[in-house]
Amino acid sequence: MTTRLLRTVFDAAAGSAGLILLSPFLLLAGVAIVLDDGWPMFFRQQRVGRSGRLFQLFKFRSMRTRLPGRSITAGDDPRLTRVGRILRKYKFDEMPQLWNVVKGEMSLVGPRPEILPFVNIDDPVWRTVLQLKPGITDLASLVYRNEEQILGCSSDPEGYYRETILPAKLALNLRYAQARSFRRDMKLILLSVRYSFFPSRFNAASILDAFPVSGPEGPQLQER
């Protein structure tokens, strides 16, 4: 069985098992969202997937729909609901994406899918990253787990994200994928779960130490 097929089978099995095992919590979270701020329970957004194909990403809704705002969340965003703040702190708002995994649109591990305005399809780096199936977690999103707090310190959060954080995350996407293995993916999943339940223990430097990703970067990457 090839590594790519193994990941596909593992994603389908783990995604389905996750939806079943977490169903009581998913139901509880959904009810809490509705009681706190009404409907809808879920937030759906078009994201760019593998090969540039667009798909609908699912999340628990954590923001008020009636307030306008930026396309990214920074710091103590006033649009966040009470329940939404808790869900985002522990990254539980991402759990509905297990359905995207079951549908084959996402993987458990892979570059986080971006919204179309942040994707430059003419950039060789972007074209290379888009060879990979997007995921719920990856090295870049784990290292930048406190991204919202970082952006909250900027006078121009969207500009800082586009010009500084996003290029750094893309570089990590490429370098991790070049040294990727099923064992490293499992380690990344376990660390993601750990920091979801214990966010106070988060340390970006220790994560990078756990995943040495030195090596050349370039557009030659092919998913394995």
On whether residue 173 sits in a domain, the answer given is yes
Q: With cut-offs at 50, 70 and 90, classify the pLDDT of residue 176.
A: very high
Q: Which tens digits make up the pLDDT trace of 191-212? A: 999 999 999 999 999 999 888 7
On whether residue 216 sits in a domain, the answer given is no
Count CB neighbours of 202 within 10 A.
16
Longest Cα–Cα distance in the chain? 50
Q: What is the pLDDT of residue 21?
A: 97
On whether residue 104 sits in a domain, the answer given is yes
On whether residue 17 sits in a domain, the answer given is yes
CB distance 215 to 179 below 8 Å: yes
On whether residue 223 sits in a domain, the answer given is no
On whether residue 215 sits in a domain, the answer given is no
On whether residue 76 sits in a domain, the answer given is yes
The predicted model gives 46-50 an average pLDDT of 98
pLDDT at 216 over 90: no
Number of domains in the chain: 1
Note down the domain range covering 159: 3-210
On whether residue 139 sits in a domain, the answer given is yes
Q: Which tens digits make up the pLDDT trace of 20-34? A: 999 999 999 999 999
Q: Which tens digits make up the pLDDT trace of 73-103? A: 888 888 999 999 999 999 999 999 999 999 9
Shortest CA distance to 173 belongs to which of 210, 209, 207, 221? Answer: 221
Q: What is the pLDDT of residue 74?
A: 86
pLDDT at 3 over 90: no
Q: Which tens digits make up the pLDDT trace of 49-66? A: 999 999 999 999 999 987
Contacts of 197 (CB under 8 A, 6+ apart): 90
Distance of CA 4 to the CA centre of its chain: 20
